Amino acid sequence: DIRMTQSPSSLSASVGDRVTFTCRASQAVNGYISWYQQRPGKAPKLLIYAASALEYGVPPRFSGSGSGTDFSLTISSLQPEDFVTYYCQQTYSVPYTFGQGTELQI
Amino acid sequence: EVQLVESGGDLVQPGGSLRLSCAASGFTFSSYSMTWVRQAPGKGLEWVANINHDGFEKYYVDSVKGRFTISRDNAQNSLYLQMNSLRAEDTAVYSCARAGQTWRALNTWGQGTLVTVSS
């Protein structure tokens, strides 16, 4: 199984900051990386797929990058509604594992 | 509107069984692979199982292999998860999700149904 490791587990920031989360796969995943945002008590929302493609309707302050085993999600200017939890997932090889999540705290 | 609605969650004793359903609407269900994801209370997301568009390819996380069965009825636009030999560690909110056709990203999610395994 491919292990996904997100870092940090939590991150403190302020409105307007630029932040980057990282996700490392235990083996190459050929760009099959997605990023999700989850608000408390709500279903996850797809932000980024194919490592860097912005899902329709997602604000352009979100961006993804990376290749091989190392990927990142960047939020260019934090808004109040961005202080929630983010997960990466690989869909290259079953089981399609998630990272453990990064909680963004104000 | 694309929508997924889960049902069937309940309180069940260890060793018991439960069948979850996911009703899909607003898209051509038979064209998409579907996935079950679970989230234990206060924990992260865990991919559970996936079924391809015609139901002939099924994949499971190791912890549920031999106990859970994913299936679908394309005529009824429905996805199912039959869960047997339930354990306390299966307690979670179970959500169904639609997978994108190329990159398999989960682009539509239901709100989930709670399964509690406890005596």
Q: What is the pLDDT of residues A8-38, one digit of tens each?
A: 999 999 999 999 999 999 999 999 999 999 9
User: What would the DSSP string read from start to end of A6-70?
Assistant: EE-SEEE--TT--EEEEEEESS--TT-EEEEEE-TTS--EEEEETTTEEPTT--TTEEEEEETTE
Q: What is the pLDDT of residue A4?
A: 98
Beta carbon pairs, A and B, within 8 Å:
63
Q: What's the token pair of residue A82?
A: 């961005």
B109 touches A at CB < 8 Å? yes
B32 touches A at CB < 8 Å? no
Give mean pLDDT, residues B7-24: 98
Q: What is the pLDDT of residue B81?
A: 98
Contact at CB, A89 and B106, closer than 8 angstroms: yes
The partner residue sitting opposite B105, judged by closest CB among A34, A38, A101, is A34
Contact at CB, B106 and A34, closer than 8 angstroms: yes
Q: What is the pLDDT of residue A19?
A: 96
Contact at CB, A98 and B45, closer than 8 angstroms: yes
Residue A81 DSSP label: G
Q: Measuring CA to CA, how many Å separate B25 from each of B20, B42, B79?
A: 17, 30, 11
**Count of other CB atoms within 10 angstroms of residue A56:** 7
Residue A88 DSSP label: E
**pLDDT above 90 for A98:** yes
A15 touches B at CB < 8 Å? no
Mean pLDDT, chain B, rounded, equals 97
Q: What are phi and psi of B6, to 5 degrees?
A: -90, 155
B100 touches A at CB < 8 Å? yes
Give mean pLDDT, residues A76-92: 96
Mean pLDDT, chain A, rounded, equals 96
pLDDT band at B102 (very low <50, low <70, confident <90, very high): confident
Contact at CB, B35 and A96, closer than 8 angstroms: yes
pLDDT band at B93 (very low <50, low <70, confident <90, very high): very high
Q: What are phi and psi of B88, to 5 degrees?
A: -55, -35
Instruction: Read off the amino acid at residue B23.
Output: A
